[in-house]
Amino acid sequence: MRYALIIVALISSIAVLAAAQLSSPVPYFIEDGKAVPGFVSGDRELAEMALAAWARESSGHLKFVPAAQESSALVRVRWISATDGLYGETQRTTVNGKPGAIVNVSPSVAGLGEPIATMASKDRLLRDTIVYLTCVHETGHALGLQHTRNFEDIMYAFGYGGDIVEYFARYRRNIKSRSDITRFSGVSPGDVMVLKSLY
């Protein structure tokens, strides 16, 4: 089985919005990915659901709002091609003197390796699960959370081993429709504890 793209992808650089101890809403911008292989129009909603999940798990301490313009967004979501060799990565940036993050996510499951690529190609909710959880993981980095060794955490890093198919499948089993994603954040109690220590 070949999981190189996932392993490289989720061992990302850390951008720390938490360092600013934000007390006001975090402006975000989600790029149009229509020119990126694998992108579908609903992927923007998956990225928004990921931001909303962190906001809910923060007990109201975090709030995300659409930026008036891309240049003012502290969090910017970009859709990248799997040919870039990554499935997801978060990069540091500075926006008007404040720490920000560029969250890169590939919407394609074709390069994930077998059997997960074939499974996701036959199951749209599994495909959406992968894209959504990658958005949650990478925006977690944007908020200052680091990788963990705990397989239950959304911030778990595949570099520590573990069953990658099960990592996504366990979430997929919780949802019967796309709308169920708003009910299951994918964030563990351990992730929440770290999040609340930061905000």
56: helix, strand or coil: helix
CATH number, domain containing residue 42: 3.40.390
Residue 53 lies inside a defined structural domain of this protein: yes
pLDDT in tens, 171-194: 999 999 999 999 999 999 999 999
What token pair was written down for 176?
Answer: 């019967």
Residue 198 lies inside a defined structural domain of this protein: no
- List 27's β-bridge partners, or say none: 65
Residue 36 lies inside a defined structural domain of this protein: yes
Residue 197 lies inside a defined structural domain of this protein: no
pTM listed for this prediction: 0.90
Our CA angle for 18, 196, 51, nearest 5°, is 65
DSSP per-residue string spanning 139-195:
HHHHBT---BS-TTSTTB-GGG---HHHHHHHHHTT-SSGGGGGT-----HHHHHHH
Residue 30 lies inside a defined structural domain of this protein: yes
**Structural domain harbouring 13:** 4-191
Alpha carbon distance 1, 44 (integer Å): 30
In this structure, are residues 90 and 18 in contact, taking their beta carbons and an 8 Å threshold?
no
Tell me the pLDDT band of 22, cut-offs 50, 70 and 90: low
pLDDT in tens, 65-103: 999 999 999 999 999 998 877 789 999 999 988 889 999
Based on the structure, what is the number of domains in the chain? 1
